[in-house]
Structure 1
Amino acid sequence: MTAIDSAAAPGGSGGGSPFHEGELAAQSRAGVREAADAAGRRGIRDHMPDQHRQFYEQLPFMIVGGTDRFGQPWATMRIGHPGFVSSADPRTLRLAGTTLPGDPLDGAWYPGAFFGGLGIELPTRRRNRINGVVVASADVALTVSVSQSFGNCARFIQARTPGRIDIGNSPPGQAAVQTQGSALSDADRALLERADTLFIASAHTSPNAGAARGVDVSHRGGMPGFVRVENPVTLCIPDYAGNRLLNTIGNLTASPLAGLLVPDFESGDLLYIAAKAEIVWEGAVLNEFEGAQRVIRCHVRETRRSLGVLPFRWTPPQYAPQFGTATAGTANRVQPVTPTT
């Protein structure tokens, strides 16, 4: 089963390659360029199929990626009641909803800003992605012109169901608490070491990137312990076999800045990490993550932790079937299933 969702008919993006030079270089190094080209031309569309449009409209949150005024990518979360994401036509996506306190992209959404969106429904493990450009911004609502749209399969997603809670409002004159730093705190490290889900934003905004120019945000999942913290300013994330498009890896090959979003499903905290990433293709570190094709080593530039801002609490996770009989703390020894196509 390929990780490209092609159930909604081949989309076509004008006949040219949907990839920029960083993605092509990463695909070549991984030995998948021909397969990626075929899959990308078939599955990456310049519009949203109706089933994707309907899917986005039923979500209570959406993961979004963008860049701040310094060019740093960040992954963040928009919250709303189902229907807060809507689509007037196959090439337009509108997000209303709420910007959470401490969102590092608050104020960054102006016409012409690049936008990456990941709609993910954790209970069903379904996910679809869109990349585009903001064409209008009013209050908290964004209107995005879609440039690339595609689906991903359910691999490595931990199933959990959200329940909305009332977190109330901060007292007058008092903002929600956010801690900031230039290195991981002990609490940050503890969260990363028990995390089974995170999101990563990357960008390649050079004009020569063509139709692939912009921001991408994607999901990473594993058993608790799949993220390894080497020291307070360095962490490693395994990159397992997936859809072979290597969008994130390709972006980071061309433009190494990354933004991580790590939700704490128990406390409602959100940990944001701005990092400079390097892709490790070979060497001893790969042996520490059995089954990893590559490792993303992130060098921390900035951390921000927003305390208790996520208005959901979640059921315990049902771990993805790719992890077999793995148990917490053994993630680095798990051999993921390799796609058959």
Structure 2
Amino acid sequence: MTGHDPYHQGSRAVQDRVGVRALADHVGRSIGPGIRPVAAAFLELQPMLVIGARDPASGRVWASPLTGDPGFVRATGAHQMSVAGGAGAGDPLADALGRPGTPVGTIALDPRTRRRMRLGGRARPTPRGLAIEADRVFSNCPKYLQKRQLLAGRRAGGPAAEPRVSAELTAAQRRFVAAADTFFIATVRDGGADASHRGGNPGFVRVLSPTELSWPDYAGNAMFLTLGNLAADPGAGLLFLDWTTGTALQLTGTATTAYGPGGARTVHFALTEAVETSGASPWTWSAPEYSPANP
């Protein structure tokens, strides 16, 4: 980003290619550095926050679920958010989030209301978890968000199981991904990171092989933050959640965008490593009510 432009060269290149720079300029006015009162109130209602970052030790990008009772995420000032608990010891981002100054992107998505808020900045560890100094905060429209209700109480069971790590997807994991209606994606840019959401009807993510996925890039808000980041740095982390059991499937690898006729876009993801953790989230959600925007 330069001056007051909320976009970097990667996002600008995609906006120009698709022909939406003027719309992106208009939508970009919603990006600001501060957490407004309505955003602070929204955060305190959330039982989950997804965080994305690059692990400096491995160079890999990951998206991780952070969970807790509502109130575990809260604004502690106009430019700071605190997260109680942080990432678990077995999470791929545990070491990165333990280092002061790690660039992170976060998304708070509430399936109950189809609302979502994104906040990026730099994280530092605290005695209770994490503090994130915000440098960009904004909300997105409800497109492609499936509606779910949070069922009462934490699911019975102990802490998250020991993560299962592999270099390719198992048959069960491939079926799980192919049936998903939602996933989260983390990308990085020079000095920053972003976490975003992708949704659609089951089957919108295609499993091409044990190490290859693809999905269509549906029309959105014209910002092209994710595709812009990928144009500059292909590192990506994906998070698939089982909304019933709390199992998390985290994937890291690289992603590229293919452009087709009429502005069609398809993202291709090549897997480097998969981490599956049973019981990563203590919450159980209802069956989805699919978004009317889903193609």
Q: TM-score, normalised by structure 1?
A: 0.81
Q: Assess if the C-alpha contact under 8 Å between 1:101 and 1:309 holds in 2.
A: no
Decide which of 23, 29, 54 is 1:67's aligned counterpart: 54
Deviations 1:306-333 (A, max 9, x none): 123321111111111113xxxxxxxxxx
Report 1:140-151 matches (<5 A). Answer: 140-151=128-139
Letter in 1 for 2:42: F
Report 1:202-241 matches (<5 A). Answer: 202-205=187-190, 213-241=191-219
Q: Assess if the C-alpha contact under 8 Å between 2:2 and 2:8 holds in 1.
A: no
Instruction: Return the alpha-carbon distance in structure 2 between the equivalents of residues 32 and 321 of structure 1.
Output: 24
Structure 2 equivalent of residue 185 of structure 1: 170
Q: Assess if the C-alpha contact under 8 Å between 1:176 and 1:306 holds in 2.
A: yes
Instruction: Return the alpha-carbon distance in structure 2 between the equivalents of residues 215 and 181 of structure 1.
Output: 25
Say yes or no: does 1:92 pair with 2:80.
yes
Structure 2 equivalent of residue 210 of structure 1: none
Letter in 2 for 1:59: Q
Return closer, same or farther for 1:18/1:227 CA change in 2, 3 Å cut-off. same
Instruction: Return the alpha-carbon distance in structure 2 between the equivalents of residues 29 and 111 of structure 1.
Output: 37
User: How many angstroms does 1:14 deviate by?
Assistant: 9.7
Decide which of 265, 284, 287 is 1:313's aligned counterpart: 284
Instruction: Return the alpha-carbon distance in structure 1 between the equivalents of residues 2 and 10 of structure 2.
Output: 20
Instruction: Return the alpha-carbon distance in structure 2 between the equivalents of residues 180 and 103 of structure 1.
Output: 11
Deviations 1:215-248 (A, max 9, x none): 1000100101010011111100111000000000
Instruction: Return the alpha-carbon distance in structure 2 between the equivalents of residues 267 and 124 of structure 1.
Output: 21
Instruction: Report the structure number with the largest CA radius of gyration.
Output: 1
User: How many angstroms does 1:22 deviate by?
Assistant: 0.8
Say yes or no: does 1:76 pair with 2:76.
no
Structure 2 equivalent of residue 47 of structure 1: 34
Decide which of 295, 301, 308 is 2:266's aligned counterpart: 295
Structure 1 gaps of 5+ residues are 1-12, 206-212, 287-291, 324-333, 335-341
Decide which of 304, 309, 334 is 2:275's aligned counterpart: 304
Deviations 1:252-274 (A, max 9, x none): 00000100000012332110100
Structure 2 equivalent of residue 247 of structure 1: 225
Say yes or no: does 1:160 pair with 2:148.
yes
Q: Assess if the C-alpha contact under 8 Å between 2:162 and 2:277 holds in 1.
A: yes
Structure 2 equivalent of residue 6 of structure 1: none
Q: Assess if the C-alpha contact under 8 Å between 2:86 and 2:130 holds in 1.
A: no
Return closer, same or farther for 1:137/1:98 CA change in 2, 3 Å cut-off. closer
Q: Assess if the C-alpha contact under 8 Å between 1:184 and 1:233 holds in 2.
A: yes
Structure 2 equivalent of residue 264 of structure 1: 242
Q: Secondary structure at the match of 1:39?
A: helix
Q: Secondary structure at the match of 1:149?
A: strand
Letter in 2 for 1:319: Y
Instruction: Return the alpha-carbon distance in structure 1 between the equivalents of residues 2 and 12 of structure 2.
Output: 18
Structure 2 gaps of 5+ residues are none
Letter in 2 for 1:234: E
Structure 2 equivalent of residue 103 of structure 1: 91
Instruction: Return the alpha-carbon distance in structure 1 between the equivalents of residues 247 and 88 of structure 2.
Output: 11
Letter in 1 for 2:170: S
Instruction: Return the alpha-carbon distance in structure 2 between the equivalents of residues 167 and 203 of structure 1.
Output: 36
Letter in 1 for 2:20: V
Structure 1 equivalent of residue 180 of structure 2: 195
Letter in 2 for 1:232: P
Structure 2 equivalent of residue 337 of structure 1: none
Structure 1 equivalent of residue 125 of structure 2: 137
How much is the aligned-residue C-alpha RMSD, in angstroms? 1.9
Structure 1 equivalent of residue 109 of structure 2: 120
Structure 2 equivalent of residue 10 of structure 1: none
Report 1:271-282 matches (<5 A). Answer: 271-282=249-260
User: How many angstroms does 1:83 deviate by?
Assistant: 1.1
Q: Assess if the C-alpha contact under 8 Å between 1:241 and 1:293 holds in 2.
A: no
Q: Secondary structure at the match of 1:151?
A: strand
Q: Secondary structure at the match of 1:18?
A: coil
Q: TM-score, normalised by structure 2?
A: 0.93
Letter in 2 for 1:121: D
Instruction: Return the alpha-carbon distance in structure 1 between the equivalents of residues 172 and 38 of structure 2.
Output: 40
Q: Secondary structure at the match of 1:99?
A: coil
Structure 2 equivalent of residue 57 of structure 1: 44
Name the stretch that deviates more: 161-170 or 59-68.
161-170
